[in-house]
Structure 1
Amino acid sequence: MNEQLQLMIDWIEDNLNNQFSLNELSIYMGYSPYYCSFKFHQVTGISIRRYILFRKLYLSTKDLANNRKIIDVAFDYDYSSQEAYSRAFKTVFGISPREYQLNQLPVQSFVKLTLNKDEEWCKMDVSRKIEVERLQHKHSELFDKDVLNILNGQIMYENFKDNRLMGDSDYAPFNEAMCVNATTKQVFDKEFIYTRAFGHHDSVENYINKVIDPLDNLFNNEYKCIVLWFGEDMFCQMNLLTLLSYLEQSGYEGKVFLNSFREDEFKVNQTELKLGHYYSVYKEVLVHHTKPSNELLPVMYQAIDIYLNMLKEDNEVVKYISKNKDLTTSELIKRLFALFPTVGYGDSQYIEIINKIK
């Protein structure tokens, strides 16, 4: 079935700039329109029309980055008008095409789905060292002693620290999963530690050893600049939001850079951030589970939308697992990693959901 699905995806990709016709796809595939639509959603966890929407809008960001006229981009991707394209763009990314064109802020990548015969998804692997060297040519001052790099997770931290990828600067990992379990208004205080430990079914002592102690550099040293290394997915972005909230709560006055990247290819988008509203967004989103009232980076805006949807009992991940309960847990996890890269859950989060459903 994967070979047939890949043919379907290839046809859709070849016709992205045209008005989509489910009938034409069904004729090409030799199946009924209903069957094509059903199997696509069953295997990928997303509808054909939503896949096309995300692919078109993501590809259009590259045209905008090359300073093409917005109206030309809109017509190239078969929108009836510039206004229709702008509405769709803002719904997905949280900013207008013009705002994106002016600032070129990071967005979540939505790449073509590619299946091979073994039901594994193709991924790219680009050296982190090469990418970091590229960044050093742009901002050599970020490799100084007065800079702290906060990495999303222990593995990334060890890779950066052991290889001194950021020169003489310091390193610290954030070993959390803020996209699950309850949190508190104040970040890293006693109530926060107790609440997070309880949510993870862990002791306070273990939580401190795993999460708090590794952040000693953040708590006890002063830095002229902090560089935050976090992926595009929802998991990473909720961790990022938590740290930005803490920086505001603690009154940090130095520079803050976000190095946003895709896990599969590690191509970094570097953005200087201005503190001032992340604490209010943190409270709205992670504490009260409501939509933010402030304008955000597109990548964080998209992640928050995913986070709030994941809080629903009938979210896309739950639906997919429910429809594929006959698969083994290991096979399900492999598929979930491939099909929902923008969620960013790890094994433990997926296993917990799978066990509840099975």
Structure 2
Amino acid sequence: MNEYIQRIIDWIEENLKNEFSLEGLASYMGYSPYYCSFKFHQATGISIRRYILLRRLYLSTEDLANNRKIIDIAFDYSYSSQEAYSRAFKTVFGVSPREFQLNQMPVQSFAKLTINQGEGGFRMNIFRETEVEQLKNRKQELFDQDVLNILNGQVMYEEFKNKKLMGDSDYIPFNEAMCVNATTTSIFDHAFIQTRAAGHDESEENYRNKVIKPLSNLFEKNYNYIVLWFGEDMFCQMNLLTILAYLEQSQYNGKVFLNSFREDEFKVSQTELTLGSYYSVYKEVLVNHRKPTNELLPVMYQAIELFLEMQTENNRVIKYISKNKHLPTSELLKRLFEVFPTVGYGDSQYIELIDKTK
């Protein structure tokens, strides 16, 4: 069946710039349109039309980055008009194609799906030293002693610190999963620690040792620059939102840079951020589970949309688990990692959902 789904994906990819016809796909595959549509959704967690929409829009960001005319891009991807393309683009990314073209903002990647990749398919590649060296050539000042690098998780922190990838600057990890469990309006105070520890079913002492103590440099030192290393998936972006909200809460007045990357490769998109609205977004989204009222980077906008969907009882991950709950947990976990890279959950978050659904 995986080979069958991969054939569908390959056909779609070859015809991305043509007007889509489910009947044409069904004829190619030798099955009914309903069967093709049903099996694709069962295996990938999204509809064929949604997959095509996201792939076209994601690929179009490369054309925008290369300053192609927006109307030409729209017709290239089979939109009836520039307006139709712009509406679809803003719905997915939260900004217009023109805004994206002018500001070159990071977005969530939506790569071609490959069903049951080899084990190395979703690991970050080994060339991060090369990528960091290129960053150094562009921003030498971010490698000095008055710079703090905040890294998403202990594993990334240990590699960066041990290899001194950012030179003589300081390194700290943010060992949290802010995309699950309740949080508080104040960040990193006693109420926050109580609430987060209870959500993770940990003692306050263990939570302090795991999450708060490693952040001591953030609380105790002053830095001219803070560099945030967070992936583009929803898990990482909710952690990023929390750190940005804390910087505003603590009235940090230095410069802030986001180094955004995909988890399965290490191509860094560096953006200088302006503080000012992230604390209000944090309260709207993570505390109250509401849509933000401020404009955001596309990558965070997309992650928030996914985060809010994940708060619903019948979200796309729950649906996928329900349709595949006959599988052993180990196999289902493997598939969830492959099918939902933009979610970014770890084993514990997925196992909790599997246990609830099964």
TM-score, L = length of structure 1: 0.98
Distance 1:228 1:198 in 2: 27
In the TM superposition, what whole-angstrom CA distance separates every residue of 1:79-135 from its partner, at most 9, and x where no partner exists?
Answer: 00000000000000000000000001000000001135x786844724111110111
In the other structure, the counterpart of 1:135 is 135
Distance 1:60 1:224 in 2: 36
In the other structure, the counterpart of 1:243 is 243
The number of aligned residues is 357
In the other structure, the counterpart of 1:314 is 314
Distance 2:46 2:115 in 1: 15
In the other structure, the counterpart of 1:297 is 297
Asked whether 1:340 is paired with 2:340, we answer: yes
* Equivalent residues of 1:115, 1:121 under 8 A apart: no
* Equivalent residues of 2:121, 2:264 under 8 A apart: no
Task: Report the 3-state secondary structure (helix = DSSP H, G, I; strand = E; otherwise coil) of the residue aligned with 1:228.
Answer: strand
| Equivalent residues in 2 for 1:260-275, closer than 5 Å | 260-275=260-275
Distance 1:229 1:295 in 2: 21
Distance 2:260 2:68 in 1: 24
Task: Report the 3-state secondary structure (helix = DSSP H, G, I; strand = E; otherwise coil) of the residue aligned with 1:352.
Answer: helix
Structure 1 counterpart of 2:251, which letter? G
Distance 2:265 2:177 in 1: 22
In the TM superposition, what whole-angstrom CA distance separates every residue of 1:44-84 from its partner, at most 9, and x where no partner exists?
Answer: 11100000000000000000000000000000000000000
Structure 2 counterpart of 1:223, which letter? Y
| Equivalent residues in 2 for 1:18-97, closer than 5 Å | 18-97=18-97
Task: Report the 3-state secondary structure (helix = DSSP H, G, I; strand = E; otherwise coil) of the residue aligned with 1:148.
Answer: strand
Q: After TM superposition, give the deviation of residue 261 of structure 1 in Å.
A: 0.2
In the other structure, the counterpart of 2:187 is 187
Instruction: Decide which moves more: 2-11 or 342-351.
Output: 2-11
* Equivalent residues of 1:115, 1:122 under 8 A apart: no
In the TM superposition, what whole-angstrom CA distance separates every residue of 1:247-305 from its partner, at most 9, and x where no partner exists?
Answer: 00001000000000001111100000000000000000000100000000000000000
Q: After TM superposition, give the deviation of residue 2 of structure 1 in Å.
A: 1.3
Task: Report the 3-state secondary structure (helix = DSSP H, G, I; strand = E; otherwise coil) of the residue aligned with 1:83.
Answer: helix
Q: After TM superposition, give the deviation of residue 24 of structure 1 in Å.
A: 0.3
Distance 1:181 1:79 in 2: 40
Distance 2:40 2:80 in 1: 26
Structure 2 counterpart of 1:288, which letter? N
Structure 1 counterpart of 2:68, which letter? R
Distance 1:121 1:38 in 2: 29
* Equivalent residues of 2:115, 2:338 under 8 A apart: no
- Structure 1: segments with no counterpart, 5+ residues: none
Distance 2:190 2:302 in 1: 31
Asked whether 1:207 is paired with 2:207, we answer: yes
TM-score, L = length of structure 2: 0.98
In the other structure, the counterpart of 2:12 is 12
Structure 2 counterpart of 1:279, which letter? Y
In the other structure, the counterpart of 1:102 is 102
* Equivalent residues of 1:128, 1:266 under 8 A apart: yes
Distance 2:296 2:101 in 1: 15
1:150–1:43: structure 2 CA closer, same or farther, 3 Å change rule? same
Q: After TM superposition, give the deviation of residue 7 of structure 1 in Å.
A: 1.0
Distance 1:56 1:146 in 2: 42
Distance 2:200 2:121 in 1: 32
Structure 2 counterpart of 1:110, which letter? F
* Equivalent residues of 1:143, 1:166 under 8 A apart: yes
1:221–1:119: structure 2 CA closer, same or farther, 3 Å change rule? closer
In the other structure, the counterpart of 1:329 is 329
Structure 2 counterpart of 1:231, which letter? G
Q: After TM superposition, give the deviation of residue 4 of structure 1 in Å.
A: 1.3
Distance 1:330 1:160 in 2: 30
Task: Report the 3-state secondary structure (helix = DSSP H, G, I; strand = E; otherwise coil) of the residue aligned with 2:226.
Answer: strand
* Equivalent residues of 1:121, 1:338 under 8 A apart: no
1:84–1:110: structure 2 CA closer, same or farther, 3 Å change rule? same
Distance 1:126 1:146 in 2: 28
Q: After TM superposition, give the deviation of residue 325 of structure 1 in Å.
A: 0.8
Distance 2:251 2:121 in 1: 43
Distance 2:232 2:183 in 1: 22
